Amino acid sequence: MPINPAAIGAEGGPVRRSWTSKDALLYAVGVGAGCDELPFTTENTKDTAQRVLPTFAVIIGGGGVPMNQIGSFNPALMVHGEQSIELFDEIPPDGEIESRGRVKAIWDKGAAAVLEFESTSTNAKTGQSLLRTTTTLFCRGEGGFGGDRGPNDRLEFPARAPDHMVTYVTRVDQALTYRLSGDRNPLHSDPSFAAMGGFSKPILHGLCTWGFTGRALLHSLCGGDPKRFKAMKSRFSKPVIPGDSLTISMWVDGPQALFRTGNQNGDTVIDQGQFRFVP
């Protein structure tokens, strides 16, 4: 069955998802956190309470989306288009959420279909809203069904130098660690599967690159305090190969910032970044 544009507005859920302290620690290591970020990578360091990286929201959130109503697509030709998160409270080291999702939009780009999903989650223990995620998938070869092409607006970045720049180096085995947080897509581990998608080798998960970027925003603009991290949105513009360097550039305007992430070759890999925080 091809992509079904009639699925726009379809709702799903509720579904529950729980996580443990170990899950949060594994995620932090998977997105490059190390010995200088012990609140996020350990649970038993003296005088240091465990905290959770805000971008962990993409691991526990996103539930309840009625994927069974959108039709079918070739996963080898699917890439992550955009991602956003909004946090209403700090994510605890362990807990459970209840999520409800919906198909927010389906766009026809001609050579591809773009699928947009939104999911809102509440803390099952307190009943309070915890987070919202919005995910956009770019499915090559699935367009041409006669739908709306969707918006084509772009952010204008300042013509001045960034206010902050942070560079991280990913490990050559980074994807093998990150995949243990749940995304076992062989595109990120199996060379033969990656070749089917037109890649010379397995690529890094887009959300792993996103997690590296979120760490830079957290430490540069929030003083490392997850409570000050409110919302993050961006577009994935180019694949990252494990072992690449990532430089995150930030332009600050009060409680908001624009950001982008580039690799060692000067290519932009995450673009159109918008961040909201408590200064």
Quick check: is 203 catalytic? yes
Quick check: is 205 catalytic? no
State the Cα angle at 25 between 262 and 125, rounded to 5°.
115
Residue 138 and residue 112 in contact, taking contact as beta carbons nearer than 8 Å: yes
From 108, 183, 244, 271, the catalytic residue: 183
Report d(CA 169, CA 156) in Å as an integer. 27
Quick check: is 36 catalytic? no
From 188, 205, 244, 262, the catalytic residue: 188
End-to-end CA distance of the chain: 48
Strands (E), the chain: 11-19, 78-87, 95-108, 112-123, 129-140, 164-169, 229-236, 245-253, 256-262, 268-277
Question: From its phi and psi, is residue 8 left (phi > 0), alpha (psi between -120 and 50) or beta?
Answer: beta
Quick check: is 219 catalytic? no
From 30, 95, 101, 206, the catalytic residue: 206
Report d(CA 189, CA 169) in Å as an integer. 19
Q: Is the dihedral of CA 50, 51, 55, 58 positive or negative?
A: positive
Q: Which two tokens stand for residue 119?
A: 């999911």
From 3, 203, 248, 270, the catalytic residue: 203
Q: Any idea which residues carry the catalytic annotation?
A: 183, 188, 203, 206
